[in-house]
Each structure stands twice: as structure tokens, then as C-alpha cells.
Amino acid sequence: MVDVCDNGGDLEYASLLFKQVNEPNVFLYNAMIRAYTHNHTTIVSWTAMISGYSHMGCHADALDVFREMQTAGIEPDDISIVSVLPACAQLGALEFGKWIHMYCDRNGLLRKTYI
């Protein structure tokens, strides 16, 4: 239902529905995250979604959002890379990890001590 409200642009109604749920599950939280960030396409918004999914244990969703970010034309920065790495590790996504390493190497991000 929240997804339907988001797609229709009625974020206030989606928020009202969310607040009425006694025990929201991870799917409802994910729908609300997408609803609130749907129209905000800055690197900060994308990275917050990636980090949130990863923190909640929704590692595949974190990788999906990382890919969606790139499809939307937003280039990963050092913070978005650091946010997606735990999801990559938890899923054992070796090929994706290799791609991230190549990307960091090409873009000078390996010089950052936290990557």
C-alpha cells in the first residue's frame, strides 16, 4: 500500500499508513525508505539508502540500490563505496567486490585510508 502511495505521489498518506502499523516489518521499512528518497537523487540520499539497507541486513537490496544509483547517472564516491562494501562482503559477492576495487583504482579512491 505504501508503494502505491509513493507511486501516486502521496507521501503524506503513505506516512500516515506507516504510523498506523503496530509492528512494521522490514518490507514496510524498505518501502518507506524508497518513498522518502524517491524524488531525491543526490549522492547523499543514495548513500543513506545503501547504508540503511546494509545496516538492516538487507544486503541484496543495498547492492541493488548501488546499481540503481549508477543507472540514474550518479557516480559512486568514497562514502558510497564504504557503505556498500559490508553488503558485498556479507553476500560473498566476489565479482562485485572486484569491480569495486577496479573502480576505486581507476578513480583514485584507493588512496583513501578507510577504503
Domain count within the chain: 2
Clarify whether residues 28 and 48 are in a common domain: no
User: 22 is in which domain, residue-wise?
Assistant: 1-39
Helix/strand/coil (H/E/C) assignment for every residue in 6-48? HHHCCHHHHHHHHHCCCCCCHHHHHHHHHHHHCCCCCHHHHHH
Residue 5 pLDDT: 47
Give the mean pLDDT of 16-22: 84
Clarify whether residues 65 and 33 are in a common domain: no
Clarify whether residues 34 and 49 are in a common domain: no
17-21, 39-43, 76-80, 92-96: range with lowest mean pLDDT: 39-43
Clarify whether residues 60 and 82 are in a common domain: yes
Question: What distance in Å separates the CA atoms of residue 99 and residue 32, rounded to the nearest whole number?
Answer: 30
Q: What is the pLDDT of residues 63-74, one digit of tens each?
A: 999 999 999 899
Clarify whether residues 11 and 61 are in a common domain: no
